Amino acid sequence: MGHRLGDASTPARLAAPDEGIGRDELALATRNHGLPLEALRHDITPPGLHYVLTHYDIPYVPEGTPWPLTLDGRVGRPLRLDLSDLHRFPQVTTRVTLECAGNGRALLTPRPVSQPWLVEAVGTAEWTGVPLRLLLAEAGVEPDAVDVVFTGADHGVERGVEQDYRRALPVEVAMGGDPEVLVAHSMNGAPLPPQHGYPLRLIVPGWYGMAHVKWLRSITVADESFTGFQQAVAYRLRRDPGDAGEPVTRIAPRALLVPPGFPDFMSRARVVRPGTVALEGRAWSGRAPVTRVEVSTDAGHTWRDAEQAPDDGERWAWRRWRYEWTVTPGEHVLSARATDAGGHTQPLEQPWNRGGFVNNLVQRVPVLCLDDEDGSAGGDGE
């Protein structure tokens, strides 16, 4: 008759074949949200359109709430910094494309039961803050440091484990300058919105979202590897439950299309008229710069190079691409595929892991091209 934490949690599981999305997955899908894909047109994602995933509740932090950030553990001089202290350090602004490690999960077979993303868990923003390496230098990291552990104010239970959200970076990543890790206080020139970590969050350019700890309260330098839930249990690539698994780190390359034409409300099917359709989209990789984007208009049978926008020097942000498509009446499937300078590319068949992480299967966008005579706004199709 006891009432214990474990009663609130259910074990990790895979959906049965043909099992629809359940109430628990829907409860996550209605509170978290992706980027509506037409918003890929914006270089910087407008506020409210950037993807959001929160494990627990969004902490309620009214403006002016004291927020001392502590930095301690294996350091010579522990720090306790309020927001005005942080503003006395050099400030850096970086444009970063952030993607959820679970993006694409709901397309997997079998489907891991968790936040059911299709392909839209992405967004790009300009983040401003203090380079983490400057704070670590100020505190003086001891030579035996191994991991730097970041703790957020978001609190909950997961698989029976009560926790503040907590993740670590290897000390060489935390102290390195490539990528430049930030303790960020601003998003697109304004204080962080509540759902993006107000008042402080970590930004780790090129890494999946789980590393960018929101509502950041403390930083602890440790002389051993961090084994907290979000590091050792969640966010690992496993095929079998008993595997130790590889950690999820940097973002795999991906390209997405702005869906052309207009949608059907319910099916989200895309409709175009015959003629020339300017396809566009974005491509990114956290591993190396994107060097090639290809487009297929025949369900992946043949591929042609898209035209990439000139390099704008924003290494950690997505890059625009374009492709001119001449379309005739019928059903078509569009895809785009990114390849980066490290030779990583997107698979045409879905790899699989139990957590549903690091998916970068090429997107498939079915498009219906109407007959010429159906409607008046036709193009110059043949």
Rule CB under 8 A: is residue 233 a binding residue for a copy of itself? Answer: no
Sign of the Cα torsion 137, 139, 144, 146 reads negative
User: Given the structure tokens 């978001």, which residue do they identify?
Assistant: 154
How far apart CA 232 and CA 57 sit, in angstroms, is 22
If the CB atoms of residues 108 and 171 are measured against a copy of itself, the closer one turns out to be 108
- Contact with a copy of itself (CB under 8 A) among 89, 134, 155, 238: 155
Rule CB under 8 A: is residue 322 a binding residue for a copy of itself? Answer: no
100: number of Cβ within 10 Å: 23
C-beta of 14: minimal distance to a copy of itself in Å?
13
Rule CB under 8 A: is residue 2 a binding residue for a copy of itself? Answer: yes
If the CB atoms of residues 150 and 229 are measured against a copy of itself, the closer one turns out to be 229
* Distances 202 to 77, 128, 149, 215 between C-alpha atoms, Å: 21, 10, 11, 9
If the CB atoms of residues 58 and 290 are measured against a copy of itself, the closer one turns out to be 58
Q: Are 122 and 34 in contact (CB under 8 A)?
A: yes
* Residue 300 structure tokens: 């992946």
C-beta of 126: minimal distance to a copy of itself in Å?
16
Which of these segments, 166-174, 263-271, 311-319, 347-355, binds a copy of itself (CB under 8 A)?
263-271
User: Given the structure tokens 């991991």, which residue do they identify?
Assistant: 147
Chain positions 337 to 376 lying near a copy of itself, rule: CB under 8 A, are 368-371, 374-375
Bridge partner list, 58: none
Q: Classify residue 50 as exposed, middle or buried by CB count within 10 Å of its CB (0-12, 13-18, 19+).
A: buried
Chain positions 113 to 142 lying near a copy of itself, rule: CB under 8 A, are 113-114, 116-118, 120
Which of these segments, 47-55, 67-75, 211-219, 354-362, binds a copy of itself (CB under 8 A)?
47-55
- Number of residues binding to a copy of itself, judged by CB under 8 A: 78
If the CB atoms of residues 14 and 29 are measured against a copy of itself, the closer one turns out to be 29
Rule CB under 8 A: is residue 232 a binding residue for a copy of itself? Answer: no
Chain positions 16 to 35 lying near a copy of itself, rule: CB under 8 A, are 19-22, 24-34
Burial profile 306-340: b = 16 or more Cβ within 10 angstroms, e = fewer:
bebeeeeebbbbbbbbebebebebeebebbbbbbb
Rule CB under 8 A: is residue 43 a binding residue for a copy of itself? Answer: no
Bridge partner list, 163: 156
C-beta of 101: minimal distance to a copy of itself in Å?
14
Rule CB under 8 A: is residue 299 a binding residue for a copy of itself? Answer: no
If the CB atoms of residues 75 and 187 are measured against a copy of itself, the closer one turns out to be 187
Chain positions 196 to 215 lying near a copy of itself, rule: CB under 8 A, are 196
Rule CB under 8 A: is residue 265 a binding residue for a copy of itself? Answer: yes
Rule CB under 8 A: is residue 262 a binding residue for a copy of itself? Answer: yes
Rule CB under 8 A: is residue 241 a binding residue for a copy of itself? Answer: no
Q: Are 34 and 118 in contact (CB under 8 A)?
A: yes
How far apart CA 329 and CA 117 sit, in angstroms, is 31
How far apart CA 184 and CA 181 sit, in angstroms, is 9
How far apart CA 50 and CA 40 sit, in angstroms, is 10
284: number of Cβ within 10 Å: 26
Which is it for strands 270-272 and 365-369: parallel, antiparallel or unpaired? parallel
CA of residue 275 relative to chain centroid, distance: 35
Which of these segments, 80-88, 192-200, 340-348, 354-362, binds a copy of itself (CB under 8 A)?
192-200
Rule CB under 8 A: is residue 52 a binding residue for a copy of itself? Answer: yes
Which of these segments, 78-86, 131-139, 259-267, 312-320, binds a copy of itself (CB under 8 A)?
259-267
- Contact with a copy of itself (CB under 8 A) among 79, 233, 271, 333: 271
Rule CB under 8 A: is residue 14 a binding residue for a copy of itself? Answer: no
If the CB atoms of residues 68 and 330 are measured against a copy of itself, the closer one turns out to be 330
- Contact with a copy of itself (CB under 8 A) among 80, 239, 268, 304: 268
73: number of Cβ within 10 Å: 19
